[in-house]
């Protein structure tokens, strides 16, 4: 196993991922199930978030507990497919600052073409979660992490539904400090750069553009 990879081995994740792999699942059910998987994955991604001590008044007495730091985390989506992660992420982290990085794939070279980037300020102070449903070749994720680091981000986690060994290795070579969290590590990439067995094009399945 890769030292930069955490596969979330949870029965509900496996069950729900198996469901959305089914090509008969329509976009509505795909999006609803994706919401559920997102919350399960995000539970693991945020497990190592730092906490601060705080005291609150219960109905009976003061209680010394813990809270997230006042500096909100950053949730960064790689357009367009990662928009499907966003509603569930913002339910869990409603005060998170959201950023968008636009990438498309050159189908000849399989390398990303960058067309948009809008990031929150003060990334150097934030816990940052980068989202993309599929980690295939890894080059889009590497380019997105490049943008985040150039903007000052230091504590970056990458979350995806499914990863290919090729993409995990590319991320390890370029950004070994970025931990990858995924619901499954699939077999390989095909000649077109799609993950096998995978789920097909995640963006098309989320938005019904197939």
Cα separations (Å) of 16 from 36, 52, 135? 8, 34, 18
HSE-up (13 A, CA, CB side) for residue 24: 1
109 catalytically annotated: yes
Residue 22 vs residue 193, higher pLDDT: 22
Is position 157 annotated as part of the catalytic site?
no
Contact 157, 149 (CB under 8 A): no
Residue 105, pLDDT score = 76
Of 19, 21, 105, 172, the catalytic one is: 105
pLDDT digits (tens, 9 = 90+) for 129-162: 999 999 999 999 999 999 999 999 999 999 999 9
Q: What is the pLDDT of residue 20?
A: 96
State yes or no: is 201 an active-site residue.
yes
Q: How far apart are CA 96 and CA 106, in angstroms?
A: 31
Give the span between the Cα atoms of 143 and 87, in whole angstroms. 24
21 tagged catalytic? no
- Is residue 166 within 8 A of residue 136, CB to CB? The reply is yes
Residue-level pLDDT at 2: 84
Higher pLDDT, 86 or 113: 86
Residue-wise pLDDT tens digits, 34-81? 999 999 999 999 999 999 999 999 999 999 999 999 999 999 999 989
Instruction: Give dist(CA 2, CA 44) in Å, integer.
Output: 17
Rg (the chain; Cα; Å): 18
Which of 109, 111, 121, 177 is the catalytic position?
Answer: 109
Q: State the average pLDDT over residues 110-138.
A: 93
Residue from 6, 35, 172, 204 carrying the catalytic annotation:
204
Nearest in space to 160 (alpha carbons), one of 44, 47, 67: 44
């Amino acid at each position: 196993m890769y030292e930069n990879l955490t596969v979330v081995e949870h029965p509900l994740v496996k069950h729900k991922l198996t469901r959305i792999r089914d090509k008969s699942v329509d976009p509505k059910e795909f999006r609803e199930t994706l919401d559920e998987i997102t919350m399960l994955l995000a539970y693991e991604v945020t497990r190592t978030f730092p906490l601060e001590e705080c005291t609150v008044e219960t109905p009976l007495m003061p209680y010394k507990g813990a809270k997230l730091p006042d500096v909100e985390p950053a949730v960064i989506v790689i357009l367009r497919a990662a928009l499907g992660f966003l509603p569930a992420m913002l339910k869990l982290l409603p005060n998170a600052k959201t950023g968008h990085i636009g990438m498309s794939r050159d189908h000849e070279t399989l390398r990303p073409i960058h067309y948009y980037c809008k990031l929150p300020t003060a990334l150097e102070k934030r816990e940052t979660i980068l989202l993309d449903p599929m980690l295939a070749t890894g080059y889009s994720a590497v380019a997105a992490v490049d943008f985040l680091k150039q903007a000052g981000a230091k504590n970056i986690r990458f979350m995806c539904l499914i990863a290919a060994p090729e993409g995990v290795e590319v991320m390890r070579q370029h950004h070994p400090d970025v931990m990858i969290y995924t619901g499954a590590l699939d077999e390989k990439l095909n000649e077109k750069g799609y993950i096998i067995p995978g789920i097909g094009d995640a963006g098309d399945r989320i938005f019904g553009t197939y």
